[in-house]
Amino acid sequence: MLCEIDSVFNSLPVTWFILSLIGLVVIMAGSSFLFATFYVNPTYEQWRYKTNPVFPPPAVVKQEITFMIKGLIFSTICPALSLYLANHGYTQSYCGSGGYSFAYNLFTFFLVWIGSDFYEFYYHRLGHSTKFFWAQHKTHHKFYNPTPFAVIADDYLDQFARSMPLLLFPLLIPVNIDMVFFTYALFFYGYGLYLHWGYEFAFVDAHNPYLNTAFQHYIHHAKSIVFKPYHTGFFFKIWDQMFGSMYTGTCLCVKCCQERGERSMAAFKALEKPDYSVLLQPSFWLTDQKKETAKVEASST
């Protein structure tokens, strides 16, 4: 399991490299699958559930992928350090049950999940309520109409800070290290993919009072700027409800858009659908990023 990686190599740089490689494979596989399925050749039935009806240009997707890889490099520092310190006896983490009861391990699972969710909410809120943290976080908001590639398309400090609980929990309490890692992989990366998917599930109402949906996160990308922290929560809505950061403007969720007649076949046929095949061309990746960015910004004004 993951807890044994550093014990095999006994090297912090090697552990970091292995985690980064695993992360790259996982995020590229997950993001690419969703992108290929819902963006490359979308059907009308799929598009009806896309929160923002417009598809982003390839140049923006290229930026998402570039920043995603940059963010990954820093997001694996704390996990690697956590495994390295555990291997040298400096943390309280353990493999297996660790001699603790099932009830204790279940308790720590919920503690990690809910505690991390609040941590992610509050750190994210700082990124919209202070100028210093907004300077770090605003890169992520270049992607106001995100695709699955935007899930960790953050600046360096953001991804380092977001991964800190993977180091802090093992330092503070006895905890199964594999459980901590897989909780983050499932509830934060996996759910993060859903939030940045750009689409909503028909069976999950965005108006439900408990869980953030892809709609809430789209609104966050599109409407939340410095000193306007809309929907900075990740999994649970309760944090935004407590801090008064729920969006109350005109609802743009797909259910309401469909009810207003904004997802018609005529609108779908008139919609420009970008040719994303250029993302597979090496020459596209070698073009000047600054010139592409300028073109995209000029076309959006």
Instruction: For the beta carbon of residue 287, count every other beta carbon within 10 angstroms.
Output: 13
CB 182 within 8 A of CB 112: no
Environment class of residue 132 by beta-carbon count within 10 Å: exposed (0-12), middle (13-18) or buried (19+)? exposed
Structure token digits, residue 42: 């979308």
DSSP single-letter state for residue 57: P
For residues 219 and 240, give the distance between their C-alpha atoms in angstroms, rounded to a whole number: 13
> SS3 for 50?
strand
pLDDT digits (tens, 9 = 90+) for 247-260: 999 999 999 999 99
CB 202 within 8 A of CB 49: yes
For residues 104 and 47, give the distance between their C-alpha atoms in angstroms, rounded to a whole number: 45
Structure token digits, residue 142: 């270049």
**pLDDT, position 294:** 58
Torsion of CA 164, 2, 140, 126, to 10 degrees: -20
Number of H helices, E strands in the chain: 17, 2
**pLDDT, position 2:** 73
**pLDDT, position 51:** 97
Distance of CA 163 to the CA centre of its chain: 12
**pLDDT, position 287:** 82
Element housing 79 (H / E): helix 77-87
Buried b (16+ CB within 10 A) or exposed e, 186-202: ebbbebbbbbbbbbbee
What percent of the chain is predicted at pLDDT more than 70? Answer: 95
97 pLDDT band, cuts 50/70/90, is confident
Q: Which amino acid is at 188?
A: F
pLDDT digits (tens, 9 = 90+) for 34-79: 999 999 999 999 999 999 999 999 999 999 999 999 999 999 999 9
> Which of 150 and 3 is assigned the larger pLDDT?
150
**pLDDT, position 296:** 55
Task: Name, in order, each residue with C-beta under 8 angstroms of 19's C-beta and a sequence gap of 6 or more.
Answer: 5, 76, 79, 80, 83
> In the predicted model, is pLDDT for residue 182 greater than 80?
yes
**pLDDT, position 246:** 97
Structure token digits, residue 134: 């907004």
Element housing 167 (H / E): helix 165-172
**pLDDT, position 233:** 96
